[in-house]
Each structure stands twice: as C-alpha cells, then as structure tokens.
Amino acid sequence: MASSGEKAAVGPGGPRLVVGYVGPLVGSQALGQWGSGFVLALSWLPEVREVDVFCPRPSPDHPDEALAYPPNVTVREAYGLDHASSLWGLMRRLRDWHGDLLIFSSNTTAYGRDSLSNVFGLLLPVLASRLLRRRTVLVYHSSVLTSDAQRLGYTSRFDRLRESVACRLEGWVFGVVPTFVLLKMYRDRLAERLRSTKIRFFPNEFLEAIPTIYLNGLEQSPPPRPAQPRTTLPTVLLHGFWGPQKDLEGALRTLQDEKVRGLAFRLVLSGSVNPHFPGYAPRLSSLCSEYRELISEREPHPSEGRMASLLAGSDVLILPYHASGGQSGVMEMASAFDLPTICVDFPEYREKARTKSCVTLVPADALGTALRAVLGGQPRSADRDPHTREKLRIARDYVSAFLKSAQEAG
C-alpha cells in the first residue's frame, strides 16, 4: 500500500491537528473497511492537518486494493498480524511520533488469530498513554464483555480460557484509556458491568461504505447501474465473511424453498471465509457445491470496484446471522447504497436500523416471507438514487463530533 505524498498546508483557520491512527485498513482484515473509511473521513475534516497511519501489512488473503489516500495521509505498514514481536517495532514508531491525538481501532481479535499478539495489542493503548505519554483514545468495536463468544463460534476450551483472560484485561484497559464503542447499548452494558461512566458512544454511520464510494469516484455521482436490462430477474445478494456466526446454510435453504414455490430471482453469493475461522472453509466449499444450481454467481474476493456494482445492482441483501458481535459492516455498506436489506433481528442491528429505512429486521424463520414482501414492494435497483454525497457528509459530521469528544477525553 503506497504512502501519501506532500503534507497538507495549514489552512486559514490556523494550526490544525496531527492525528495518529493505529489499526487495520482495507487489505488486511474485517476491521480494515471501517479503518479506511475512518481515516478518509478524518482527512477531509478542516480541523485535521494530517493523519499518520500505523497499520498491519496487508494479508495475502485480502489483496491490497491500492486505495490512494489524500495527500495529508501518510500510511506506514508498521506491524504484522499474528506476529507479536512486530508490535515492539510499532511501539518504537509510536515513540518517535509527536502528534496531537493517537487513536487506536481494535477489538479482541484485531491483531490476528495469535493469542499473544492480541494480548499485547490490547495493551498497546495503555503503553502509548502511560509509557510514551501520548494523548490516546481507543475505539473498541466488539468486546467479550458485551458479546456471547460461544454463539459467535468460539467454543473450544482454549477459547473459554482466552475469553476469561480477555474479560479481565478489557475491563482494566477501559478504565485506563478513554474508550469509545460503536453502539449505545454496548456503552450502557459496559457502564453497568464495569460500574464506570468513562465508556463513551461514537454514533458512527456509513464509515464502512466510504472506501467503496471513494475508490470508485462516487462522491458526487450516482453509482454504476446494473448491466442487466430491467426485464431480467431481481438479484438477491449474500455477502460477508462467512463462518459459524452466520447462518449461510439456513439462508440458502430458505432461498431454495422460495424458488421451489415459484419466486424468481438471481442469487449472488459473495465473500470468503472469516479469517478467524479457517476451519469453516470446507463447509463453505461444500455449501457452494450443494447449492450450485441455486447460486447464479459466486464472488469469493470482490474488489472495491466490484462491490460498488454489486451493491448498486442488487435488489435485496440478506444478512443471516446466528449471533451478533457488534454493528454489521455489510449493513452499513448496503445502507449507503440504499440497498433493501433483510437482517435477522438482534438488539445490535435493531439499534442501527433506527437510522436506516432500507433495513427490515425479521426472526430467522421469516426470511422467506420478508424476501417476497421486499421483492414485491421495492423499486428495482435501476430506480434507486442513494445520494452518496449526502451519506459522506453524514459520516464526516459524526467523525468530526467524535474528534472533539476524543480531544476532551484524551
């Protein structure tokens, strides 16, 4: 991933902030979509002079999208996922960094599948704050204190041991470093469990969609229209990192039943195996084989350019969850394109759906009924105009409000 060129000049409003970001970008893992959107939104704020990024080296499983960041963003590939020793190199880089605010984006598994890497990674904000004396805040995406780890697929004896250690460690870190969570219900849950009023809420919107919008030059133009003529069948999209936390089999079985009942549609199955559940790969392959006549198109690793056309050209997205571990990045992306979305009802998605009129929440056994209603009552993809410029403005405003709160907290 290439770094930026010249730094932005100080604007007429006087000195502006130099912000550091530590976390994934597009090309590394699941949190990378959010990370790139957050960095881009930061770089567009008039109060930010430059953004210095310290990110992991891209994963070979998620090819670099060659996202060209604005000139006031410098990207440094500072550590490796699953390489705890490389985090010492990251600490040396942070020691030599002298900006105004350091923002960590993390969760319990943000530093890969290696337990030691994640323990050390969770300690980094504390070390940066206390040892390096940097003004530091933490954005925490999902916590073992707020989620059911077993329902998310972490079921082994070792997983339970890791959960116990993580609970204690997270509780301590949240008490030391000003911490922001992305759901109001998580703030309330942590405040009650930890008896702390220090946890803050960051009501972010559409950040996961920003890289797709930005890379495709859709800031002020409508998204690409579907290539098929309007007389073709409606397109159903299944997209995400697949693993035991999602009920892909149930969704495919429901779609198969609906097709037998006479519902006509094209099905696009997009996305690869969740990197934290590599053992799910044979199951995903088996499902693709079992339902090969149902699946019209398979997109294992769609590029950002392809994601724009998938989101704009589909007529409905189905999100079949077994459990929720935080906000849904796929829901945020789809909502930015006004793509009608059917999602299994969990409290986390209920909270986010309050600001998204295109989302329908249903029990897991009602996906088929909801699908028939959406396809029968929504305009086709060619008729949608999602006003992406307005979505970017909303995202930028929330990041600006977060930055003010983070300065006060840090």
More confident residue, 257 or 326: 257
CATH no. of 17-213+391-409? 3.40.50.2000
pTM for the model stands at: 0.88
Are the CB atoms for 49 and 16 separated by under 8 Å?
yes
pLDDT value for 67: 81
Q: What angle do CA 143, 118, 53 make, to 5 degrees?
A: 95
Domain ranges, ordered by start, for the chain: 17-213+391-409, 224-385
Residues 8, 82 contacting (CB under 8 angstroms) = no
Please state which CATH class domain 224-385 belongs to.
alpha beta
Closest CA to 237 of 383, 115, 337: 337
Find the distance separating the first CA and the last CA of the chain, reported in whole Å: 30
Q: For all residues of the chain together, what is the average pLDDT?
A: 86
* 164: confidence class by pLDDT, cuts 50, 70, 90: low
- Take residue 24 and report the two structure tokens written for it: 């994934």
Q: What are phi and psi of 270, to 5 degrees?
A: -125, 150
Residue 119 pLDDT > 80: yes
pLDDT tens for 17-63 read: 999 999 999 877 678 999 999 999 999 999 999 999 999 987 665 55
Helices 157-176 and 115-126, axial angle in degrees (round to 10): 10
- pLDDT 10s digits, 305-327: 889 999 999 999 999 998 887 89
- State the greatest distance between any 2 C-alpha atoms of the chain, in Å, as a whole number: 65
The continuous run of DSSP H or E covering 298 comes out as: strand 297-299
Report the C-alpha gap between 71 and 14 in whole angstroms.
Answer: 19
